[in-house]
Amino acid sequence: MTIMFLFIAILAIVDSFFNLGLFEADSFGGLAMAIPVFIDDVKSFIPSSVRGSQCSGIVDGKPVNVRRLKSGGLMPSVDSIFQTSMGTAHVVGTYGHHVVIEILEFNDDYEFEIYDIKGGERYVSDIVDAPTHLAMLAIAHDRAMDSIAADIRRIEVTLDGNVTKDALERIENLPRLERNQMIFDCTDKFEYTGGFVSIVCDEVPTERETVAQQKARIMRERRAAKKLADALLEDLEVPEDIQAEMDAEFGAEF
């Protein structure tokens, strides 16, 4: 263990408690209240600025920004219904920059070709319908979640070797799919048709901290972070050579 690795590890732990922005966090963590807005109203939004804050449009006098999926498409709110190539989709949940949909009625004309290679030649080995393909995707997704959960259990442990409480909660919140569900994403080229769709919009905070309030908050966060780091170091057995480097770099009080 090097001094830099030790210091970064402590900063990561402190940041997880105080969300100081030292490490990248989930971009949804600081969003204000979400508001579902009919898609036709969203399409009529006129970008503007309110008290210095940029926004996509105004809803009931409140400035809002349209939330987008990972690939740039509009994010439909829970209970929206629209058409996909597999059939009629119903939004049942959200996960990060994606939504979870279930297919209510499958498209009987849907076909998915499965390819294989034989003798150096690529050929169609099977053709499956929408329910079969969706089940295959759901199974693959859940296996990926199992792999992520295993990595979290292996990496995010306490000094005693136990999985952290935060890690266990994140494992519990990993999305699991029914065989008629999938994680949905789209670009801004996708057209929502054949149903009822509202789009997730996030209210833009317009009340800003004064300079004095911001400085006071930063000082409080820094004092709390240093106090936690000190406590962690007191409980951590640091090799003498590394402790000497730390004293030389940050002072003996560190």
pLDDT digits (tens, 9 = 90+) for 22-49: 333 333 333 457 899 999 999 999 999 8
* pLDDT recorded at residue 12: 42
**DSSP assignment of 57-121, as one string?**
EEETTEEEEE-B-TTS-B-BPTT-EEE-SSEEEEEEEEETTEEEEEEEEE-TT--EEEEEEETTE
Burial class (CB in 10 A: 0-12, 13-18, 19+), 181: buried
* pLDDT recorded at residue 138: 95
Token readout for 184 is 């949905």
User: What is residue 44's DSSP assignment?
Assistant: T
pLDDT tens digit sequence for 138-190: 999 999 999 999 999 999 999 888 999 999 999 999 989 999 999 999 999 99
SS3 at position 189: coil
**DSSP assignment of 138-166, as one string?**
HHHHHHHHHHHHHHHHHHSB-TTSPBPHH
- Contacts for 31 with CB less than 8 Å, ≥ 6 apart: 67, 202
Q: What pTM did the predictor assign?
A: 0.65
Average pLDDT score over residue span 90-109: 94
Average pLDDT score, the chain? 81
Query: Is pLDDT above 80 for 74?
Result: yes
User: What is residue 34's DSSP assignment?
Assistant: E
CA distances from 183 to 21, 88, 111, 171, 224 (A): 28, 14, 19, 17, 39
Average pLDDT score over residue span 208-231: 75
Half-sphere exposure for 163 (CA within 13 Å, toward CB): 13
Query: Is pLDDT above 50 for 13?
Result: no
Q: Give the closest residue to 179 by CA, choosing from 132, 135, 143.
A: 135
Query: Is pLDDT above 60 for 9?
Result: no
206 compared with 167, residue with greater pLDDT = 167
64 compared with 52, residue with greater pLDDT = 64
Phi, psi of 152 (to 5 degrees): -60, -45
* pLDDT recorded at residue 242: 59
pLDDT band at 2 (very low <50, low <70, confident <90, very high): very low
Average pLDDT score over residue span 221-234: 69
